[in-house]
Amino acid sequence: MIAPASLAAFALVALGMVLTPGPNMIYLITRSIMQGRLAGFISLLGVILGFVFYMLCAAFGLTALLLAVPFAYEAIQWAGAAYLLYLAWNAVRPGARSVLEPRSDLPVDGPGRLFAMGFVTNLLNPKIAVLYLSLLPQFVDPAQGHVLLQSVVLGFTQITVSFTVNLCIVLAAGSVAAWFAGRPAWLKAQRWAMAGVLAALAVRLALDRRVA
């Protein structure tokens, strides 16, 4: 089985990634503010299904196939970097609005669409792709045996950490948005801070190279 120290280290990696602004966080905050906590929670369930999908891919070796094909791996890297830069630009472009700013121009979606959009948003999330494609395999030790079980345990650890943090985001989004509503300068600072983090992640992802 996985050593407790390795499991704790992976949990910290998962915590750091979920706390970094990205597509999942943006989507959950937007829906929670616009349609309420229930809509945010339903969206979160879709996000969790996306995590399960990636976990099963990692557990059954599909990630190893992608890692063995340099072009496929690099395509994911560049696509993810481009997507993060797109999100960064949307945060600071002229007329842009903070994800914490209430909006009335988005359509109200039903439970099915909320769940599906949460799922799709997570599938297209480059942070999660990188986590499962390159980071999770590094914490699996074949010498310990039960590689499949190790992958599942690591996956559920990541899912638990992400669910807990994202649930807190869903529950607090409305209150945080209300605080920011009367502080335009803080909203602007939040947009630029998020754009900076997303751009830095994009550069790091684009420049990352595996050790042969």
pTM (predicted TM-score)? 0.70
pLDDT value, residue 158: 92
Separation between Cα atoms, residue 63 and residue 132, nearest integer Å: 7
pLDDT at position 132 over 70? yes
Which of 86 and 28 is assigned the larger pLDDT? 28
What are the start-end ranges of the H helices in the chain? 4-19, 23-35, 37-59, 62-68, 70-92, 111-123, 126-130, 147-181, 184-207
pLDDT value, residue 121: 87
* Digit-coded pLDDT (tens) for 138-192: 777 777 777 778 888 888 999 999 999 999 989 888 776 666 556 667 667 767 7
Which of 74 and 85 is assigned the larger pLDDT? 85
Which of 84 and 18 is assigned the larger pLDDT? 18
Q: Where are the domains of the chain?
A: 4-70+100-182
Identify the sign of the CA torsion 63, 69, 73, 79.
negative
Separation between Cα atoms, residue 17 and residue 171, nearest integer Å: 19
119: closest CA among 184, 29, 42, 6? 42
* Digit-coded pLDDT (tens) for 5-55: 888 888 888 887 787 777 788 888 888 887 888 999 999 999 999 999 888
